[in-house]
Amino acid sequence: MPLAALLAVLLAALTHASWNLVAKSAVRSVHFVWLYSMASLMLWTGPVTWVVMHAHWHPGPLPWLALGATALLHLAYSLALQAGYRAADLSLVYPIARGTGPLLSFAGAALLLGEPIGLISVVGVLLVVSGIAYYPSYLQSHPAGGGSLANYFATWQTPLQWMSGAAWFIGALLLYDCVLSAVQAFAPGILDWISKLCAGSNDTLRFYALVVGLSAIAYLPMVVIFGAYDWFNLGPFWIQKCRVLLYGLYFFLGAGVGGAGLSTSLAAPGSNLAKRWYAWAIAAILVFLVAGNLQLLSLNHHTYDDPLWRLIVGVGWILSCATSAFALLAIFVRFANTPNRVFESLSTNSYGMYLTHYAMVTWTQYALLASSIPPLTKALAVIAVAAAGSWLLTMALRWIPAVARII
């Protein structure tokens, strides 16, 4: 980019931020939107008239209709922005407005107008949006005036201070993906052995015992040594020390079940697991209540540093995780076996939704934090906004062939 163009971009960013500062200071004035709208009209009437006359432009009704719709949309945005500035600080409203604008225009251009989208544009949108994804958590943890954008970005750049959120599990999945790919490339016999181990998983109780036994080997020594609350990180990716092997175990067992053939596995329609879905669902609830109360008892009596208690609670969670996994799979295999366009789309876009939903969740939660509406209503609103927003965004992203191959 030429130096002049770069300086123009930086000047535009400074001017825009300054304008928002003025808008915040004039938030109580009902005439402010009218004044700057009229000033814009007076400023651009002359140049636009000159261009139209010299270009001999004779637009039909559709361009005029588009111009009118644009004007109405911009007026609605301006009024909404002023309402936002009346309700909250500049440090909250400005990043929301600047972060959601590129996201919505990106999705709208792809879904509604069929605009071609390149990988560079995707990276640009992600850089803009990801920077504000964790900001609500930072604001909530610094309520006494320390949650400024300057302090937030300074903290963001400190390696040990990342606000990881859902990124920790994305990092774990990425790690296991890389390990599995390496095993497939350099030691495919290991995957063949795992597939043979998982063969006959339709013998549900035998496979359940296998999962519980391997989980005990992978988890119990780790939780006794490190405890359940000790984390470590690499950049933005954090993970509990005691669960590194356990997550990897479930990841590879899933690959093994698929490698052995889904048509003869516990995930096949009409499998023994699906036939007894109700028993697994009841067992999952009961085992979870036992494991959860064991952990609560340990916390209340401050025994979480006792190796014996770590072992007892660890056994509870091993059984709970395995039983819940089998129960959820049983329910879906039993009831989600009829073709449905909505569910098929949801399945296709599910991984992309997982990657993109976090910013929508945090900002919706933060926006509703001070609201007096019932907690259940807040929860439903957050779920609806995050699900619909991440679904639409993923659909738009998947129009890019390079992105579609990943998500």
Residue in this structure with the two tokens 């350099």, named with its chain if needed: 186
Contact 256, 341 (CB under 8 A): no
Contacts of 125 (CB under 8 A, 6+ apart): 102, 103, 106
The pTM assigned to this predicted structure is 0.62
Residue 407 near residue 355, CB atoms below 8 Å: yes
d(CA 232, CA 72): 51
Q: What is the 3-state secondary structure (H, E, C) of the chain?
A: CCHHHHHHHHHHHHHHHHHHHHHHHCCCCCCHHHHHHHHHHHHHHHHHHHHHHHHCCCCCHHHHHHHHHHHHHHHHHHHHHHHHHHHCCHHHHHHHHHHHHHHHHHHHHHHCCCCCCCHHHHHHHHHHHHHHHCHHHHHHHCCCCCCCHHHHHHHHCCHHHCCCCCHHHHHHHHHHHHHHHHHHHHCHHHHHHHHHHHCCCCCHHHHHHHHHHHHHHHHHHHHHHHCCCCEEEECCEEEEHHHHHHHHHHHHHHHHHHHHCHHHCCCCCCCHHHHCHHHHHHHHHHHHHHHHHHHHHHHHCCCCCCHHHHHHHHHHHHHHHHHHHHHHHHHHHHHCCCCCHHHHHHHHCHHHHHHHHHHHHHHHHHHHCCCCCCHHHHHHHHHHHHHHHHHHHHHHHCCCHHHHCCC
Q: Give the pLDDT of residue 321.
A: 95
d(CA 310, CA 222): 10
The reported pLDDT for the residue numbered 52 is 75
Q: Which residues have a Cβ under 8 Å from the Cβ of 236 and sit 6 or more positions away?
A: 162, 164, 167, 168, 171
Per-residue pLDDT of the chain (407 residues; tens, 9 = 90+): 677 777 787 787 777 777 777 777 776 766 777 777 788 888 888 887 887 777 777 777 888 888 888 888 888 877 877 777 777 666 667 666 666 666 677 777 776 777 776 666 766 666 666 666 667 767 776 766 556 666 776 666 554 555 555 566 777 777 888 888 888 889 888 988 998 888 888 899 999 999 999 999 999 999 999 998 888 776 656 788 899 899 999 999 998 888 888 888 888 888 889 899 999 999 999 999 999 999 999 999 998 889 999 999 999 999 999 999 999 999 988 887 777 888 888 888 888 888 788 778 888 888 888 788 888 999 999 999 989 988 988 888 888 777 777 77
Q: What backbone phi and psi angles, to 5 degrees, belong to 239?
A: -155, 145
What residues pair up with 239 in beta bridges, in sequence order?
Answer: 232
- Rounded to an integer, what distance in angstroms lies between the CA atom of residue 271 and that of residue 154? 54
pLDDT of residue 44: 80
pLDDT digits (tens, 9 = 90+) for 350-377: 888 887 887 788 888 888 887 888 889 9
- Residue 214, pLDDT score: 96
